Chain A
Amino acid sequence: MRSSPEILRALENESIEILRETAAAFKNPVLLYSIGKDSTVILHLARKAFYPAPIPFTLLHVDSTWNFKEMITFRDEVVKMHNLKLIAHINEEGVKNGITPFSHGISEYIRVMNTVALKQAFDKYGFDAAIGGSRRDEERSRAKERIFSVRESGHRWDPRQQRPELWRTYNTKIRPDQTMRVFPISDWTELDIWSYIHLENIYVNPLYFAKERPVVKRGTQLIMVDDERYPLREGEKPEMKMVRFRTLGCYPLTAGVESNATTLEEVVEEVMGVKLSERATRLIDGENEDSMEKKKREGYF
């Protein structure tokens, strides 16, 4: 069943309230823009929240250098379309040290190119709050996240020190050594996101729609060979398959699903039928039962 417009409007109103609260309560808030559907929805909500004034946030894209090419094209297009201010941050030291998912393992790569990169950007630009697209339906430790979630110095998340959050009364105060993470779409589900994109006719990345793409098989996963850096096995040739992506990220770590959904309507239909969690297509999370909580404690978003 598609999420009803009434539910979507109720969620929309709450998210707008959170975005406005963030803009008003912090000196230098940033919107973490990951180019995916969740960020796209947040950006749309932000346009609504501050209309007719422009979006008061800088956008930050932590560029791992392994994103799909189409993500970068889309990003630049959106920035231009809405006249936004965007910072793309790359951990240059990681690049210099040749950190890739293949050379150093997935965990280490994620830590250096995402977690460390994010901390670098925070410290470099002095952001005091960052808006992210996490949803409580994504994963178990996220089910316990607050909407305004404090990070201790070093961007550590201490689940035992979470502030009680009651009603819609938010404590947005932080000490100088702390920063805030803000999750305006906490209560949304994946189906809500797609139903809302459909309802509002929001422009999303073409990677979400099925198309013939060059893929190789890794275990049960289909990985798109987006550029020549991808290490093919001896004699291996990418195969053209109709695939789409449920989530976007680093292409070697983000599996596609076989699909014929080429329109928004068809994608929504497909999401309604899918009974796997969307993180099933991420290579990073399944490594260990508590991998997400561990990463978050270290400062992962």
Chain B
Amino acid sequence: MELTPIVRLLTCGSVDDGKSTLIGRLLVETDSVPHDTLDATKKTRRPGSIIPAGEIDFSLLTDGLEAEREQGITIDVAYRSMSLLDGRRLIIADAPGHEQYTRNMAVAASRSDIALVLVDATRGIRPQTLRHLTICSLMGVKKVIVVINKLDALGFDQKIYDSLITDLQPTIQRLEVNSISFIPVSALEGDNVTYRTERTKWYDGGSLLEEIQAWRDTESTADHSRMCVQLISRAENFRGVSGTISQGEFKAGDEVVVLPSERKAKIARLVTFDGDLEKAPPGKAVTMVLHPDIDATRGDFIERASDYTKPADRFSAHLVWFDEEELIHSRSYYLVNGSSMVPATITSIRHKLNINSGDHESARTLHMNEIGSVEIATDSAIPLTKYSENRSSGNFVLVDRVTLRTVGAGMIVHALRRATNITKHNYEIDKGARAQQKGQRAKLIWLTGLSGSGKSTIANALETRLFASGIHSYILDGDNLRLGLNKDLGFTKEDRAENVRRVAEVGKLMVDAGLIVIVALVSPFKVDRDHAREIFGEGEFIEVWVKTPAEICAQRDPKGLYKKAKDGSLPNLTGVGQDYEPPTDAELVLDGTDEIASNVEKLIAKVL
């Protein structure tokens, strides 16, 4: 494994936090600024600048465009290079800190290994810090360095420094930031930027430069191997497929598969200008000669046949919206990954992320700089993987098909449907015929409510009644399904959404089979239940809220969950650690403290 020779760093914070000064000082103290440029920063002054002539105005080193200098703010990502002492290259992507420029931060974060998050100690933790951490986490930045700046103005007080770190802990835990460190700094006076100073004796970590240099990243050759075909190379008696190995490695002789066609071949040669290779490492640009010379075109992917990504056409993803025109549900966009471009539609917006609080909010669209959790359907299958596993095979950008602007960027959460080449086949016997044969009307009763509200008890009593009347029915119980079909799902909002989606799809099949289906599922989020309702026909979906006061549910506690929630071993229990969003247009509301028999009567009236 080789050490990655280029380290990419993202800086987040605003001019007010002293970001320009910090980066400027880092560049100047490592002698990374040409001397004539440095001279200019001693002479040039912005209107209103209070920096004495002859001293360096660090901000002039980092603010690029005319419009930015006029406004004294940074509006676009700027890239700067410097050398680390061990010979590696550091590329700094300087991202603006203002809210309206979330998109630029996403741009800068997308390729960054490390993020520098600036906190102005004199102002404390502000919403923008939480926003920066959220975006870093979402974009898969591998290490976060929180720079607590302006400590010179606070007498380098350790208590203030410690309390700021404590304030950040809940956010850090919520976002699951894996690698994080904190540095007390004065960018203005140069403490702990490139070297440690005496004024923070209580701090036992390294300077900012030392922390950056301590970052070690390697590219693993053991990964899943993958190359996207950029073009077909043709010369006399030669045909090969050219691309860059985005992950893993390939060897001459490897058996590979071309995706999405899933045709197999062997690598006959790995051709480069500097001679054929025995093996091509990650990051290498090569031209593969395949044997047999099967059909592969631009935008196809090549992976090792022993372990490849199954192409899919439905995905759940996080999506950052960039365009002034909002996201249009059901409009066709181009989805781009590597050289692959396929038409795609956002089929649903599960929720929008409140970037300041981390809360999930229901949304019908995404506006510029908003981030949402969406489902996306592609017109043809494409082999994308989870972004959390690999940034290059799990990312995509969305392009508007008319304006051709880049309107959004997405991170795959997981593939939702792995079947390809699906065309719906219509059979002679349909839902109506099947239900008629049974002498009933197929329906689905969706019981939602807190754990312990009585959903299962009611479902059981109802089915017993129906069975006695000769009606064909089936209960889909949330807990029971989690033992099998849904055993891969947890209780996060995303997993709950997927849980609801699967239960709804199974319920739909059963309704199609002519059954009366009773679902007993907490299903706390309105958006998920609404989504379930969407896939059923008119009058088929009956939402029933089993409304039982939370205290009574906790008293009943039939599964001991409230007890676990209380002692902290169950964080996501609905009504305790997660909210329950009550239905606003349920067909029926049952009081879970009423007699079972009377509730069953009410249901029977709705069903038959």
Contact = CB atoms under 8 A, between A and B. Distances in A.
A237 interface: no
Contacts of A289: 44, 69
Contacts of B307: none
Contacts of A160: 67, 75
Interface stretch (A13-21, A73-81, A121-129): A13-21
Given A4-B5, A17-B230, A168 B67 contact: no
A102 B284 CA distance: 49
A277 to B, nearest CB: 4
Contact of A167 (B243, B273, B395): B395
Contacts of B3: 6
B322 A164 contact: yes
Nearest to B40: A289
Nearest to B8: A187
B106 A169 contact: no
Interface of B is mostly: mixed
A143 to B, nearest CB: 4
Given A6-B2, A52-B271, A165-B107, A1 B83 contact: yes
Q: Which one of B35, B76, B80 has the greatest number of beta carbons of chain A within 10 Å?
A: B76
Given A47-B273, A141-B65, A275-B34, A171 B399 contact: yes
Contacts of A47: 273
A141 B107 CA distance: 17
Contacts of A164: 103-104, 106-107, 322, 397, 406, 409
A276 B405 contact: no
B302 to A, nearest CB: 15
14 contacts: A7-B87, A10-B6, A12-B285, A13-B284, A16-B285, A20-B285, A48-B273, A54-B235, A136-B78, A140-B64, A144-B64, A165-B107, A166-B395, A169-B397
Number of chain B interface residues as a range:
35 or more
A16 B230 CA distance: 11
Nearest to A44: B273
Nearest to A275: B35
A38 to B, nearest CB: 15
A159 B76 contact: yes
B77 A169 contact: no
Nearest to B75: A160
Contacts of A187: 6, 79, 81, 91
Interface string A143-173: 1100000000000000110111111111101
Interface of B: 2-6, 31, 34-37, 44, 63-67, 69, 75-81, 83, 87-89, 91, 103-104, 106-107, 110-111, 230-231, 233-235, 238, 242-244, 271-274, 283-285, 287, 298, 322, 334, 336-339, 391-392, 395-397, 399, 403-406, 409
Contact of B283 (A10, A48, A50, A178): A10
A49 B64 contact: no
A162 B111 CA distance: 18
A9 B44 CA distance: 38
A292 to B, nearest CB: 10
Contact of B406 (A7, A136, A163): A163
A293 B231 CA distance: 34
The 9 A-B pairs of least Cβ separation, nearest first, read A277-B34, A6-B5, A166-B110, A48-B273, A16-B285, A51-B273, A24-B231, A140-B64, A275-B35
Contact of A276 (B35, B44, B271, B285): B35
Given A4-B87, A13-B285, A144-B64, A51 B272 contact: yes
B29 to A, nearest CB: 14
A261 B28 CA distance: 28
A137 interface: yes
A189 B242 CA distance: 27
A20 B104 CA distance: 26
A163 B405 contact: yes
B336 A136 contact: no
Contact of A7 (B6, B284, B287): B6
Contacts of B37: 277
Nearest to B85: A1
A51 B399 CA distance: 31
Nearest to B38: A275
Interface string A200-233: 0000000000000000000000000000000000
Q: Which one of A25, A53, A187 has the greatest number of beta carbons of chain B within 10 Å?
A: A53
A167 B404 contact: no
Contacts of B76: 144, 159, 162
Number of chain A interface residues as a range:
35 or more
A169 B298 CA distance: 14
A168 B338 CA distance: 7
B273 A171 contact: no
A96 interface: no
Contacts of B89: 3, 7
A53 B233 contact: yes
Interface string A58-74: 00000000000000000
Contact of A293 (B65, B405, B409): B65
B36 A277 contact: yes
Contacts of B244: 13, 16-17
B64 A141 contact: yes
Contacts of A11: 6
A293 B66 contact: yes
Nearest to A277: B34
Contact of A144 (B65, B69, B396, B404): B65
A95 interface: no
A141 B403 CA distance: 25
Contacts of B404: 171, 173-175, 178
A258 interface: no
B34 A159 contact: no
Contacts of B396: 169
Contact of A290 (B4, B66, B230, B397): B66
A7 B285 CA distance: 15
A98 B65 CA distance: 34
A192 to B, nearest CB: 8
B372 to A, nearest CB: 16
Contact of B238 (A16, A52, A141): A52
Given A159-B67, A169-B337, A276-B35, 8 more contacts: A4-B88, A20-B285, A21-B339, A144-B79, A167-B392, A169-B397, A175-B404, A187-B79
A136 B79 contact: yes
Contacts of B285: 12-13, 16-17, 20, 48-49
A88 interface: no
B392 A173 contact: no
Contacts of B230: 17, 20-21, 24
A47 to B, nearest CB: 6
Contacts of B35: 275-276
B397 A171 contact: yes
Contacts of A165: 107, 406
Nearest to A11: B6
A3 B83 CA distance: 9
Contacts of B242: 20, 49-50
A227 B6 CA distance: 45
Contacts of A173: 334, 399, 404
B79 A186 contact: yes
B96 to A, nearest CB: 11
A121 to B, nearest CB: 24
B64 A143 contact: yes
Contact of A52 (B75, B235, B283, B339): B235
Contact of A168 (B64, B81, B392, B399): B392
Nearest to A190: B34
A137 B37 CA distance: 12
A16 to B, nearest CB: 4
Contact of B80 (A50, A137, A167): A137
A182 to B, nearest CB: 14
B233 to A, nearest CB: 5
B233 A52 contact: yes
Given A13-B244, A52-B233, A293-B66, A136 B80 contact: yes
A290 B69 CA distance: 10
A164 B395 CA distance: 14
